[in-house]
């Protein structure tokens, strides 16, 4: 389970920063204070990342398919969803897209999978 920081390209970072200006974010400390039954935790990482390990209780809808499948998985657009990826960049892009689809409570977990592991939160492997 790799938690190293990735070097991102400037165009990607510009896109992410633009999305982050519009989306709600929560850090791992604030996430831990949220009621466990008050939200859906969604892993937006790729399949190989999910199978290597994921947050306990999360559902998997990767960034590549979430817009296509979210309405079947989470039909209530007022549901609070906490989205995470490796570090909080892809999940911010997903939260932005879901807001455009009418979801009111899509929240990106800043720090993502890396922060989850550093906090020692429960992990599952399929």
| Tens-place pLDDT, residues 55-104 | 999 999 999 999 999 999 999 999 999 999 999 999 999 999 999 999 99
The pLDDT of residue 8 is above 60:
yes
Boundaries of domain holding 35: 25-120
Question: What is the number of other CB atoms lying within 10 angstroms of the CB of residue 40?
Answer: 17
Task: Respond yes or no: is residue 85 known to be catalytic.
Answer: yes
How far apart (Å, rounded) are the C-alpha atoms in residues 73 and 125? Answer: 21
Q: What is the mean pLDDT of residues 38-63?
A: 97
Alpha-carbon distance 46 to 39, whole Å?
Answer: 21
CA–CA distance, 35 with 1 (Å, rounded to integer): 27
Angle formed at CA 107 by CA 62 and CA 17, multiple of 5 degrees: 85
Domain-embedded: residue 81: yes
Residue 35 lies in a domain: yes
Indicate which residue of 42, 66, 81, 85 is catalytic: 85
Query: Structurally, how many domains does the chain consist of?
Result: 1
- pLDDT of the residue at 1: 39
Q: Looking at residue 67, which CATH number applies to its domain?
A: 3.40.250.10
Average pLDDT along the chain? 93
């Amino acid at each position: 389970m790799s938690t190293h920081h990735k070097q991102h390209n400037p165009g990607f970072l510009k896109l992410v920063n633009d999305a982050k200006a519009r989306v709600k974010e929560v850090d791992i400390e604030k996430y831990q204070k949220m009621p466990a039954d008050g939200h859906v935790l969604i892993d937006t990482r790729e399949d190989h990342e999910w199978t290597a390990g994921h947050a306990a209780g999360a559902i998997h809808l990767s960034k590549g398919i979430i817009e296509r499948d979210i309405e079947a998985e989470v039909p209530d657009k007022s549901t609070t969803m906490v989205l995470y990826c490796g570090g909080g960049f892809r999940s911010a892009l997903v939260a932005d897209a879901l807001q455009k689809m009418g979801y009111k409570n899509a929240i990106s977990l800043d720090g993502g999978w890396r922060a989850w592991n550093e906090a020692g939160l429960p992990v599952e492997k399929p």
